[in-house]
Structure 1
Amino acid sequence: MAEMNEQLEKLAYEYQLLQAQAQLLAQNLELLTLGRNEFQAVKETLEELKKVEDEKPEILVPIGAGSFLRARIEDKENAIVSVGAGYAIEKNLDDAVTYLDARIKEYDDAIAKTQEGLKKLESQLGELAQKAQRIQQEQAMGFSVKK
């Protein structure tokens, strides 16, 4: 009986560890999805800008708290895109879209790997729960079933 309690405690500890890992992966997945969506929005904006016929189109520039300023785009052929670590470079719109596509693919790959890891953890959590349930059933019945 003491051995079964020890097994249950061990399973409970493993379960908590896996659950914490799963929670971290779920949070990471959410951050990756937000990042990917931001890059996608920028890409779509640049693609739409290429279709605009006005030489200096008017836009609304967000300044915070749901407020905007009217502005004109002086150079609609180029965009300044972030390349990470606080650096940005100027690219023509086609190159900027190509760069953003590559970044979106990186995010998609990271999202897929994170989802795969989360599925594995969920599977392990299910297995641990089943083991614990079997041990509890054996305890309730007062005997152990040999495998």
Structure 2
Amino acid sequence: MSAPSGTVSLDQLSLEQLSQVRTQLEQELKHLTQAFGDLKQAQAKFAGCIDSLDAVKPANKDKKVLIPLTSSLYVPGRIKDTENVLVDIGTGYFVEKNTKEAKSLYNSKVLSLKSNLATLQGQVEKKQDNFQACTEMMRMKMAQQQRAAAAAGGSKDD
């Protein structure tokens, strides 16, 4: 089986080179897995925003609520405007949008992240396959070296 142009077949690499490739794949896999987790977390945050928007309705006007200032600090408040909300558009910037526009924005972000997650999932799976193939080739080469060493040791006894 020939490798595509610009690639090297694993069986042509030495054990040391395979070890280096395996280490690099392991680092890339760790990075991609971290990125996948971060995107999943962002997707959950936006989905939570959509759920929060469902609570902003005319029936809840003047209702007491706790407003988050940070992830662990909340202050009491009341819902005064049930038509408009402040939307975090990133890097600490907020814009006022009506609830329908805000929901649409968050839905589009969730869908965009879903697409990115699917792409990233494919990359993670490919790296995992490459990592496993590299590990298996290392095992085969080590076993081959052990057999060669045993054969060389056995022929000295003759």
Please classify the TM superposition score into its range, dividing by the shorter chain length.
0.7 to 0.9
- 1:40 pairs with 47, 56, 59, which one? 47
**Gap runs ≥5 in structure 2:** 1-10, 150-158
Report whether the alignment pairs 1:80 with 2:100.
no
* Residue identity matched to 1:92: N
Instruction: Kindly indicate whether the alpha-carbon contact (under 8 Å) linking 1:18 and 1:125 is maintained by their aligned counterparts in 2.
Output: yes
Using the TM superposition, give the Cα deviation of residue 85 of structure 1 relative to its aligned residue in structure 2, in angstroms: 4.4
CA–CA distance in 1 between the matches of 2:141 and 2:114?
41
**In percent, how many aligned pairs have the same letter?**
21
Name the amino acid aligned to 2:28. Q
Distance 1:32 1:81 in 2: 19
Match of 1:23 in 2: 30
Q: How many equivalent residue pairs?
A: 138
Question: What residue in structure 2 maps to residue 133 of structure 1?
Answer: 139
SS of 1:142 mapped into structure 2? helix
Q: By how many angstroms is 1:48 displaced?
A: 2.6
Distance, in Å, in 2 between the alignment partners of 1:79 and 1:107 is 22
Rounded to whole Å, the distance in 1 between the matches of 2:24 and 2:34 is 16
Q: Which of 90, 93, 102 is 2:108 aligned to? A: 102
RMSD: 2.1
Query: Which of these two proteins has the greater Rg computed from alpha carbons?
Result: 2
State the alpha-carbon separation in 2 of the partners of residues 118 and 87 from structure 1.
33
* Contact 1:39-1:104 within 8 A present in 2 as well: yes
- Which TM-score applies when normalising by structure 2? 0.79
Query: In structure 2, the residue corresponding to 1:132 is in which secondary structure?
Result: helix
Distance in 1 of aligned mates of 2:69 and 2:84: 22
After superposition, the C-alpha distances for 1:18-53 in whole angstroms (9 at most, x for unaligned) are 110000001111111111111111110002323x61
2 CA distance for matches of 1:99 and 1:67? Answer: 26
Shift of 1:64: 4.9
The 8 Å contact of residues 79 and 96 in structure 1, kept in 2 or not, is answered as: yes
* Distance in structure 1 (CA, Å) of the matches to 2:39 and 2:17: 33
8 A Cα contact 1:79 1:90, kept in partner: yes
Partner Cα separation in structure 1 for residue 38 and residue 73 of structure 2: 26
Please say which of residues 83-92 and 58-67 is displaced more in the overlay: 58-67
Normalising by structure 1, what TM-score? Answer: 0.84
Unmatched 5+ stretches in structure 1: none
Q: Report 1 or 2 for greater relative contact order, CA contacts < 8 Å, sequence distance ≥ 6.
A: 1
